[in-house]
Structure 1
């Protein structure tokens, strides 16, 4: 399996993958860091850091994606992975369901996508049927829909094929393709990537053969009829991996085998783009030969990048199916060196508090205490007179307190304490169902049950 890696996790993932695969198309810093030569060859799999730095998107040959997904999910209990119903380069017969300012929302059957108006000839209206291809997948925790296009491509880094393109579009690609053992399919044109000059003729032939096979699948899909929105062809698979806090520290260990790595390297870089240069600078100044997860400098990171007292943060409530729900935003009222952050939210009246069965009234305040790395967090609801209206303790993957958002994945089972002091454990059945559905591993579920039991006794 040939793997190409990009983004803030590149060094760690290169070290991880190279034990069982061939890392290709490595950047100059990676070649220097490993003091090794990496071939410029066709990649069966691309592993790219997501825009929010929370994880990686895997796209490529189905068997390679599944193998890498399984390997990364084994990093830690709190590393979670999901397949994508709208993988890279997949062809769909879709239906426009809404028109927005810059594009249309398209029903794909098992998914939904976004088609920019500049990717369509003419206008599109609600109810129009469109043949579209996924140009950019999105992780399930993103608030963006996968980006669509109407042009057909078999994409790749060494080589991309475009349907309907003219040989002149490719510069010198047409004459180069004539020298290779594989052929460019009829009605497709080749475009070579930036590493073409460094690749061998065998590598370019492999890349062309792979793209040509994908183009054949897309051609066959384009000829199919569809009465309802559905997928017509999927020449590649895509999966998304979210690294929990333990997973990021496991990646630190992989990176540390190659390069000086500060405690919480990936945890700090995942928090904000602004942290990357600071982390690199600190590691260049000071060798970190050995480090413990407990040495993560939370106080320094919070002081430099946030959150600070008076800031507002969102509560990023991840779901085991990959979705992200924001439980409102609150004001940070205190930040402690031990990673403890207190957040207050003013509640809107109406309805009842989940599981507490207590009416939500005007003037109620929710006081939540997050502690970096803890597998749970409590929220105390108080009335405008200061009375305690109930406590809800959420069991989750280890909390990460980022500058603008507190992140974790909810593990269903929770413990509540009512206004009269009664303690109940709730939603064990939802956790069992998540395990049965394959969304939560048995090891992660067992950790959640153990935490819930301790909380139940403590309350």
Structure 2
């Protein structure tokens, strides 16, 4: 039997595990299925192994985390995050993953049939359904600000398994024990349900065969009940719940706050989580550095040395350079150029442009021979673009406001765009802020906090004032970076 508990049970995985375990234990949560390092660091003599109500794990690029689980516990986790980290970016995907709906087809598009689910409309990759036809579907891929991807059939979710109408039998890739896999394969061969697939979930590795059989029988009863009452449900309507899915980005200041939490548990290098999120594998350097801290050496000096080493190792002047401009709404733009210079922490990227069209926000034509310089600095919320003519005349400046820039990988940096920008048309002599309404939309959708909205607005005013009052050059723009750095440090 699965024990009923009042406190949310959460499972934590990834590079933020120690810091987040400390955070959520302090907040009154229970941690389940902890890894051996967590058991050791927190002296968990009787670690819980029950299925989690929600799981917190790394984003694929380790720049934040993904939360997946029951709606209530996921909201409780977000509440703790929002109270502790005013600069996080929160993206809640809709509808719930593997939730089921009785929908109605409304037409077709290139990708398939558009199905009205009531709360939103999704895409079913099929063109054999007529408009107005009722169809039972489940959510295969929830979306953020776009249409979710659907599949035919009902889904019922348990703690240890998921039954998918029309699906195939499968076992979670997180189950590694050969003996357990053998037992689960035997079980799948024994538990047959015509036209249904059984997905064994990761928590099944801690369950007995008796517990798994009991849950299968319970889910089977649910299916019978749902099928019996399906015709009574209105169209469109939700049939079964799924997993809430939320993505949270930890900007650089949030990573520093997580460093402090981890430091209360184990020796932790300043910028530990930032270094861990760089995709070039500096694990051994970090482990050695934190051993030196444990021996009594100065953490700040070690961190500065590690940062210098990483920059020397993966920033190569004269080679191709990439800026990952991640759109909060989805997707990204890669800004490519040549790393011209690294000076005082600033990176200068030379860019060339094809003639035709206009520079975004500036209303200035792109002409033959135009080129540009983009200036970034790790930790800064500004990305500054200078646009020049073939005669080296400055045509305009575009200042992008974003989450603090971070090194992503070799000759590559990353940030999330915060929508609001400031531009200066040097030909006509005007300066203006653009897309402030899009920043306000992020606030209204609870993607950013009021504090972060106000910070971005303050930074924008600082930038606009600077561009209006100063004859801006690539040299003088350093003063703006320094001013903004003072403003952005006030968020914590």
TM-score (norm 2): 0.72
Q: Does 1:345 align with 2:351?
A: yes
Q: Does 1:2 align with 2:9?
A: yes
Q: What residue number does 1:119 align with?
A: none
**Which one of 240, 251, 261 corresponds to residue 247 of structure 2?**
240
Q: How far is the alpha carbon of 1:279 from its aligned partner?
A: 2.8
Q: Does 1:407 align with 2:414?
A: yes
Distance 2:425 2:442 in 1: 26
Aligned pairs for 1:311-350 within 5 A: 311-320=319-328, 322-336=329-343, 338-350=344-356
Structure 2: stretches of 5+ with no match in the other structure = 1-7, 170-182, 468-492
Q: How far is the alpha carbon of 1:125 from its aligned partner?
A: 5.8
Aligned pairs for 1:43-82 within 5 A: 43-82=52-91
Q: What residue number does 2:392 align with?
A: 386
Q: How far is the alpha carbon of 1:372 from its aligned partner?
A: 0.8
Q: Is the 8 A contact 2:63 2:249 kept in 1?
A: yes
SS at match of 2:311: helix
Q: What residue number does 1:444 align with?
A: 452
Q: Is the 8 A contact 2:362 2:424 kept in 1?
A: yes
Distance 2:299 2:228 in 1: 54
Q: Is the 8 A contact 2:407 2:413 kept in 1?
A: yes
Aligned pairs for 1:338-377 within 5 A: 338-377=344-383
Q: What residue number does 2:176 align with?
A: none
Q: Does 1:259 align with 2:266?
A: yes
Distance 1:276 1:299 in 2: 16
Q: Is the 8 A contact 2:50 2:206 kept in 1?
A: no
Distance 2:259 2:228 in 1: 45
Larger Rg: 2
Distance 2:215 2:196 in 1: 15
Distance 1:429 1:308 in 2: 38
Q: What residue number does 2:22 align with?
A: 15
Q: How far is the alpha carbon of 1:45 from its aligned partner?
A: 0.6
Structure 1: stretches of 5+ with no match in the other structure = 100-104, 116-123, 178-183
Q: Is the 8 A contact 1:308 1:334 kept in 2?
A: no
Q: How far is the alpha carbon of 1:369 from its aligned partner?
A: 0.5
Q: Is the 8 A contact 1:309 1:334 kept in 2?
A: yes
Aligned pairs for 1:218-237 within 5 A: 233-237=240-244
In structure 2, the CA distance between the partners of 1:255 and 1:218, relative to structure 1 (3 Å rule), is farther
Q: How far is the alpha carbon of 1:3 from its aligned partner?
A: 0.3
Q: What per-residue deviation string (whole Å, max 9, x for no partner) do you get for residues 20-54 of structure 1?
A: 21110112222123221320012111112122222
Q: What residue number does 1:30 align with?
A: 38
Q: What residue number does 2:461 align with?
A: 453
In structure 2, the CA distance between the partners of 1:252 and 1:225, relative to structure 1 (3 Å rule), is same
In structure 2, the CA distance between the partners of 1:194 and 1:451, relative to structure 1 (3 Å rule), is closer
SS at match of 1:87: strand
Q: Is the 8 A contact 1:217 1:233 kept in 2?
A: no
Q: What per-residue deviation string (whole Å, max 9, x for no partner) do you get for residues 368-411 of structure 1?
A: 11011112121100112211111111222212232254322333
Q: How far is the alpha carbon of 1:210 from its aligned partner?
A: 9.4
Distance 1:64 1:378 in 2: 41
Aligned pairs for 1:126-205 within 5 A: 133-135=138-140, 154=156, 158-161=160-163, 171-172=186-187, 198=206
Q: What per-residue deviation string (whole Å, max 9, x for no partner) do you get for residues 140-176 of structure 1?
A: 89xxx9887667654567444455889x97635899x
Q: Is the 8 A contact 2:115 2:124 kept in 1?
A: no
Distance 1:422 1:39 in 2: 62
Q: What per-residue deviation string (whole Å, max 9, x for no partner) do you get for residues 184-234 of structure 1?
A: 999978776666575589997997799779868976897689989x97643
Bigger fraction of residues in helix? 2
Q: What residue number does 1:418 align with?
A: 425
Q: What residue number does 1:181 align with?
A: none
Distance 1:452 1:73 in 2: 23
Q: What residue number does 2:487 align with?
A: none
SS at match of 2:294: coil
Q: Is the 8 A contact 2:136 2:154 kept in 1?
A: no
Q: What per-residue deviation string (whole Å, max 9, x for no partner) do you get for residues 113-134 of structure 1?
A: 797xxxxxxxx66879986544
Q: What per-residue deviation string (whole Å, max 9, x for no partner) do you get for residues 71-121 of structure 1?
A: 22334332111211143222366888557xxxxx77566476797xxxxxx
